[in-house]
């Protein structure tokens, strides 16, 4: 157990969360890692917090301007020296044995496997007297289907980025994340990845994912407006599934932003575009929510 894992942690104005994220890496039971923090043009106390961390395994790269999540991850990857790459968002944390268990599981997989994810705990928080207080934890399991390519066309449903670990050599075929996409860059990259490699899922919750984000609707709309043009599919007809998924993402973004009439419109467009698959996915989603409610 000596192969180096490069942990890429992009951050932008998340000084309140950053220290916890970094600490969750530093306490890993797997010792052979480097942590590359990419400050994407933060204007808060991010630099001060990073200057307080004295650990030779940690390095900091700073963007002078905000370039987005994809650019930050790409910057970290290009500076990395590891055999494996693991992502961690700056408002998430890992269980202490995350890298060790994932490495042991992943390293035994065959060559067709390019990446590994884990189950995770979805954490909801409230801000009380400037302190973040957890108020709900949902155990979440995202199974990987046998045909992951088809699964990936239907949305960014692999797993949150903070559970991902993949072989760096895969990027020779897959390439980096699309820096022109300010949202859903992970979805587009996930589809490209599925052209060449499969994923496996370690059925243990090893990451804490902070929930409750409300993405700006206009940012989502602009990203999805070009998504269909940049996404790489095996057959032209596969874009029908992607289009249905795009309408669903717009429905969800509008709903989160309390744009109810727009949400209803996109929901209807998603259904009309591919009724059978839309209904099947909706039923699957409802089943998962019910299971989580009573778990």
> Tell me: the pLDDT tens digits for 159-204?
889 999 999 999 999 999 999 999 999 999 999 999 999 999 999 9
Mean pLDDT of 143-150: 86
- The residues spanned by each domain of the chain are 5-210, 217-294
- Average pLDDT estimate for 132-137: 70
pLDDT of residue 127 exceeding 70, the answer is no
Which tokens go with 179? 């820096």
Answer whether CATH 3.90.550.10 is correct for domain 5-210.
Answer: yes
The rounded mean pLDDT for the chain is 92
Per-residue pLDDT at 1 exceeds 60: no
Q: Is 176 helix (H, G, I), strand (E, B) or coil?
A: coil
| Bridge partners, residue 39, by sequence | 11, 62
Q: Quick: pLDDT tens for 83-97.
A: 999 999 999 999 999
For the chain, percent of residues with pLDDT exceeding 70: 95
Average confidence (pLDDT) over 116-134: 79
Strand pairing class (33-40; 131-140): unpaired
**Rounded percentage of the chain residues whose pLDDT exceeds 90:** 78
Question: Which residue in this structure is represented by tokens 């890496």?
Answer: 25
Q: Is the pTM of this model over 0.75?
A: yes
| Residue corresponding to tokens 């949150």 | 160
Q: Average pLDDT in the 133-152 region? A: 82
CA angle 254, 257, 258 (to 5 degrees): 85
d(CA 121, CA 235): 36
Confidence check: pLDDT of 241 > 70: yes
pLDDT at 132 over 70: no
Q: Which residue has the higher pLDDT, 2 or 108?
A: 108
The pLDDT assigned to 91 comes to 94
Q: What is the pLDDT of residue 281?
A: 83
Tell me, what's the pLDDT at 129? 64
Of 12, 56, 17, residue with least CA distance to 33 = 56
At 141, list the tokens.
């399991």
């Amino acid at each position: 157990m000596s192969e180096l894992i490069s942990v890429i942690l992009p951050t932008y104005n998340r000084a309140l969360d950053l220290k916890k994220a970094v600490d969750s890496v530093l306490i890993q039971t797997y010792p052979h890692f480097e942590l590359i923090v990419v400050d994407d043009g933060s204007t808060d106390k991010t630099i001060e917090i990073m200057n307080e961390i004295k650990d030779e395994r940690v390095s900091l790269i700073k963007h002078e301007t905000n370039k987005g999540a994809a650019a930050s991850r790409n910057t970290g990857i290009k500076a990395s020296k590891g055999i494996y790459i693991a992502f961690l968002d700056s408002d998430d944390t890992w269980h202490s044995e995350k890298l060790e268990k994932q490495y042991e599981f992943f390293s035994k997989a065959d060559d067709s496997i390019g990446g590994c994810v884990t189950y995770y705990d979805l954490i909801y928080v409230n801000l009380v007297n400037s302190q973040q207080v957890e108020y709900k934890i949902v155990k979440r399991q995202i199974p990987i289907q046998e045909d992951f390519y088809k699964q990936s066309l239907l949305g960014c449903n692999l797993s949150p980025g903070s559970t991902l670990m993949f072989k760096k050599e895969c990027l020779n075929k897959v390439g980096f994340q699309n820096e022109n996409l300010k949202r859903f860059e992970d979805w587009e990259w996930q589809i490209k990845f599925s052209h060449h490699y499969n994923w496996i899922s370690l059925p243990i919750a090893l990451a804490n994912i902070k929930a409750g984000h409300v993405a700006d609707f206009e940012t989502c709309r602009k990203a999805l407006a070009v998504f269909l043009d940049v996404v790489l599919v095996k057959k032209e007809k596969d874009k029908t599934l992607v289009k249905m998924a795009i309408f669903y993402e717009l429905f969800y973004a509008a709903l989160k932003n309390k744009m109810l009439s727009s949400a209803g419109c996109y929901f209807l467009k998603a259904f009309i575009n591919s009724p059978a698959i839309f209904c099947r996915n909706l039923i699957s989603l409802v089943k998962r929510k019910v299971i989580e409610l009573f778990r």
